[in-house]
Amino acid sequence: MKHSERRPFPWHILFFLLPGLAIYLVFSVYPLLDTLRMSFYGDAADGGHAFVGLRNFVTLLTDSTWSDAFWNALKNNFEFFFIHMLLQNPIGLLLAVLLSLPKLRLRNTYRTLIFMPTMLSVVIIGFIWQLILSPIWGIAENFMYGIGLGNHFDSWLGKEGTALITLGLISVWQFVGIPMMLIYASLLNIPDEIVDASVVDGANPLQTFFYVKLPLILPTIAMVSILTFVANFNAFELIYAVKGALAGPNFSTDIMGTLFYRTFFGFQLQQGSPTMGAAVATLMFLIILAGVMVFLLVVQRRINRFQL
Amino acid sequence: MKALFFDRSQPATGGWQRGAQTGKALAVHAVLLTYTVIALFPILLVLINSLKSRKAIFRDPLGLPSLDTLNLGGFEQVLLRSDFGLYACNSLVVTILAVGLVLLLGAMAAWALTEYRFRGNLLLAFLFAMGIMIPIRLGTVSILNLMVQLHLVNTLTALVLVYIAQGLPLAVYILSEFIRTIPKELKEAARCDGISEYKIFFAVILPLLRPAMATVAVFTMIPIWNDLWFPLILAPGEESRTITLGVQQFVGQYVTDWNAVLSSLTLAIVPVLVLYLIFSRQLIRGLTAGAVK
C-alpha cells in the first residue's frame, strides 16, 4: 500500500473479527486460563478463596484420600484409550480399506449405515447397550447361547473386572465410523499412478498395501490417534449415563471426566470443590496438551518424510 | 453372482481367476455386511420393541410388532410424564442459534484473519487453532462461575454462548482454508469497482462459502445436539432442559418401565436418523473433503 502512513484505522477488520473473537475469548479462552489459575487456590476461612500454591496438586497426587481416586481414574482412562487404539482404529482401517476397493458395489450404502451410530448421542447409545446386555431382557444372553457360549454370559456391565472393558467396547462400536471415514478419505487421495506403478513392479495387493498405501496414510492414522486420545481423555457421558457419577462398581469405570465431575460437584457425602475441580481439570489439560505435543513434535515430523 | 457385487466392466479373465475374484468379492461383502448388521442391530432392536407390548418385548424381542403385540403405550407415557416437546424445542432453538452464529461469526473471523495483514494476526489464528484440540469442557468451573455472575444459569442463552465458543475454532479453520482457495482476481475486481470491504464480504465472499459452510454446519451441529455435559451443568432446570438431558433424566427415573424407556430412546433417535439419511451425502462429502478426485 502506497498510502500506508495516512491509512485510516481499519474498522472493517475489527467489525469482522471482534464478535467471534469476543465470544471465543470470554467463553473459552478466559475460562480455561481462569481454571488454571483457580487450581492454585483453596477455600479460605472467610469463605472465599486463598492462594495455596501447589497444595491442591500435592493433595491430588499424594494424599491417599484423593490420590487413590486420581491414579485409579488415570489408569482406567489409559485402559479406555488403549481399547480404542487396539480395536476402534484397526477395525476402522480394515473397513476403510475394504470400502476403498475399486468397483465395489453398495459402497455408499455400507458407508452410510456403518457411520450411523456415530451420529447418535453417547447417552442414547449407553442406554441401548445397557438394555441389550441386561440379564433381565436377555438379548445378549440368548445370543451367547445361540452361538454355544451361553455359559460365558455374565452381567458384564455390573462386574468390576469387565465393566470398563465393556464400556470401552460400546464406545468403539459407536465411533468406529470416524477412523473409517477419515482413513477412507485419505486412501482415495492416493494418486492412481503410484498404486499402478507398484502393481507394474510386481507387488501383490498385500505388498501394495503395506509398502505403498500404508506409509502414505500414516499422517491420517496419526491424526486419528490424537483425536482418539483427546476424545477419550475428555470422555464423560457414556460412563455417566450407564454407571452414574460414581462410576461403579467400586469406581472400576471411573475416568478423568467422571472424576472431574464428582470433584467439582460433589457426590453423596463428599462436598464439591471448585478449586479441587479446577486442579483436576488442569491435570486433564496437561495430559491432553502432552498428547497433542507428542503428536505435533514427534509423530508428525517423522511422518512428513513419507509425504509426497 | 459376480455382477451383483462388482461392476461388470472388468475385462473377462480365465475361469479360475474369475472364480477367485468372485470369492474375494463375496468375502469383502461378507465382512462389510457383518459389520453393517453389528452397527444397525442395536438401534433397530430399540426401534422395533418400542412399538410392542411389554409382554412381547420380553417374550419375543427380535420379532416385528404384529397386530397382537402393537402397543404405543410407551410413547403415551413419555409424552404424559415428561415435557418431551419442550425438550425437543429447546434443543432445536439452541442448535439452530448456535450453528447459525458459528457460521456467520466464524466466516467473518476467518475472512479477517486470512484476507487482512495486521499485527497479531498469526497469534490470533494460533489462538483459534488451539481451540480445536483443547476441549472447552476443561474450563467448566469458570464457565459456571461466569454464567452465575451473568445470571444466565438455566437459560438457553448460556448454552448458545458456550456452543458458539466451542464451535468457532473448527469453523474458522475450515473456512480459512476455503477462503484461501478463492481467486484473488475476484476480490481485486470488486475493490477496483470501489465496493466497500463489507459489501465484498457479504455480497461476494459469503455466497461462495456455502459448500464449506455445509460441512462446518454438520460438524458443529452433531456435538451440540448430542451434548449432555453443558446442559447438565449450566441448564439442568425443567424449563431449559435439552432433549439429551431430558432423555437421560427420564430413563434414570423410569428404569423399570421398559415401554416408556424404549419409547423415549426411540423419540430421541428417530429425528436424528431421519436428518442423517437426508443429509448423509453432504455429511460424508464433508468428512472426506478434498478426497473427490
**A5 pLDDT band (50/70/90 cuts)?**
low
Assess whether B164 and B70 both reside in one domain.
no
CB contact under 8 A, A185 and B124: no
High-pLDDT (> 90) share of chain B, %: 57
Assess whether B71 and B170 both reside in one domain.
no
Assess whether B10 and B118 both reside in one domain.
no
Strand partners, A266: A271
Q: Which of A277, A239, A217 is nearest to A127 (CA)?
A: A239
Average pLDDT, chain A: 89
pLDDT digits (tens, 9 = 90+) for A113-147: 999 999 999 999 999 999 999 888 888 888 888 88
Is residue A283's pLDDT more than 90?
Answer: yes
Q: Using H for helix, E for strand and C for coil, what is the string for A28-82? A: HHHHHHHHHHHCCEEECCCCCEEECCCHHHHHHHHCHHHHHHHHHHHHHHHHHHH
CB contact under 8 A, A101 and B5: no
Confirm whether B286 is domain-assigned. Answer: no
CATH number of A172's domain: 1.10.3720.10
pLDDT of residue B135: 94
State the ipTM, two decimals: 0.89
pLDDT of residue A147: 86
Q: Give the SS3 label for residue B6.
A: strand
Q: Most A CBs within 10 Å: which of B32, B127, B175, B176, as the mutation test of the A interface? A: B32
pLDDT of residue B25: 87
pLDDT of residue B46: 93
Assess whether B25 and B123 both reside in one domain.
no
pLDDT digits (tens, 9 = 90+) for A9-34: 889 999 999 999 999 999 999 999 99
Residue B179 structural domain = 84-253
High-pLDDT (> 70) share of chain B, %: 91
Q: Which of A159, A182, A173, A169 is nearest to A249 (CA)?
A: A159
Confirm whether B283 is domain-assigned. Answer: no
Domain count, chain A: 1
CB contact under 8 A, A20 and B7: no
Residue A211 structural domain = 55-304
Domain count, chain B: 2
Q: Which of A107, A226, A241, A223 is nearest to A174 (CA)?
A: A241
pLDDT of residue B16: 63
A residues 42..81 contacting B (CB < 8 A): none
* Mean local confidence (pLDDT), A156-180: 94
* Mean local confidence (pLDDT), A84-107: 93
How far is residue B284's CA from residue B197's CA, in Å, rounded to a whole number? 34
Q: Is B131 on the interface with A (CB under 8 A)?
A: yes
Assess whether B57 and B109 both reside in one domain.
no
CATH number of B224's domain: 1.10.3720.10
Strand partners, B52: B70
3-state helix, strand, coil in chain A (%, to 5): 75, 5, 25
Confirm whether B259 is domain-assigned. Answer: no
Assess whether B14 and B122 both reside in one domain.
no
pLDDT digits (tens, 9 = 90+) for A216-270: 898 889 889 999 999 999 999 999 999 988 988 999 999 999 999 999 988 877 8
Of A2-11, A70-79, B90-99, B155-164, the least confident: A2-11
**B2 pLDDT band (50/70/90 cuts)?**
very low
Assess whether B21 and B91 both reside in one domain.
no
Is residue B293's pLDDT more than 60?
Answer: no
Number of Cβ within a 10 Å radius of residue A197: 13
Confirm whether A138 is domain-assigned. Answer: yes
Is residue A72's pLDDT more than 90?
Answer: yes
- What amino acid occupies position A235? A
What does residue B10 show for φ and ψ, rounded to 5 degrees?
-65, 140
Confirm whether B16 is domain-assigned. Answer: yes
**B278 pLDDT band (50/70/90 cuts)?**
confident
Number of Cβ within a 10 Å radius of residue A115: 22
pLDDT digits (tens, 9 = 90+) for B100-137: 999 999 999 999 999 998 989 999 999 999 999 899 99
Q: How far is CA B224 from CA A22, A230, B17, B160, in A?
A: 20, 18, 51, 9
pLDDT of residue A154: 83
pLDDT of residue A6: 62
Is residue A109's pLDDT more than 80?
Answer: yes
Assess whether B59 and B196 both reside in one domain.
no
| Residues in B touching A265 (Cβ below 8 Å) | 233
Assess whether B153 and B173 both reside in one domain.
yes
How far is residue B293's CA from residue B285's CA, in Å, rounded to a whole number? 12
How far is residue A190's CA from residue A216's CA, in Å, rounded to a whole number? 7
pLDDT digits (tens, 9 = 90+) for A182-205: 999 899 888 888 888 888 888 888
Assess whether B119 and B71 both reside in one domain.
no
Is residue A208's pLDDT more than 60?
Answer: yes
Is residue A44's pLDDT more than 70?
Answer: yes
The string of DSSP letters for B110-175 reads HHHHHH---TTHHHHHHHHHHHHHS-GGGGHHHHHHHHHHTT-TTSHHHHHHHHHHHHHHHHHHHH
CB B154 within 8 A of CB B235: yes
CB contact under 8 A, B113 and A132: no
Q: What is the number of alpha carbons within 13 Å of residue A51 lying toward its C-beta? A: 2
What does residue B151 show for φ and ψ, rounded to 5 degrees?
55, 40
CB B131 within 8 A of CB A24: yes
Q: Most B CBs within 10 Å: which of A123, A282, A293, A297, as the mutation test of the B interface? A: A123
Whether the upstream peptide bond of residue A19 has omega within 30° of 0, thus cis, is: no
pLDDT of residue A300: 67
What does residue A190 show for φ and ψ, rounded to 5 degrees?
-70, 125
CB contact under 8 A, A114 and B36: yes
Assess whether B117 and B219 both reside in one domain.
yes
Confirm whether B282 is domain-assigned. Answer: no
Q: Is A186 on the interface with B (CB under 8 A)?
A: yes
* Mean local confidence (pLDDT), B225-240: 94
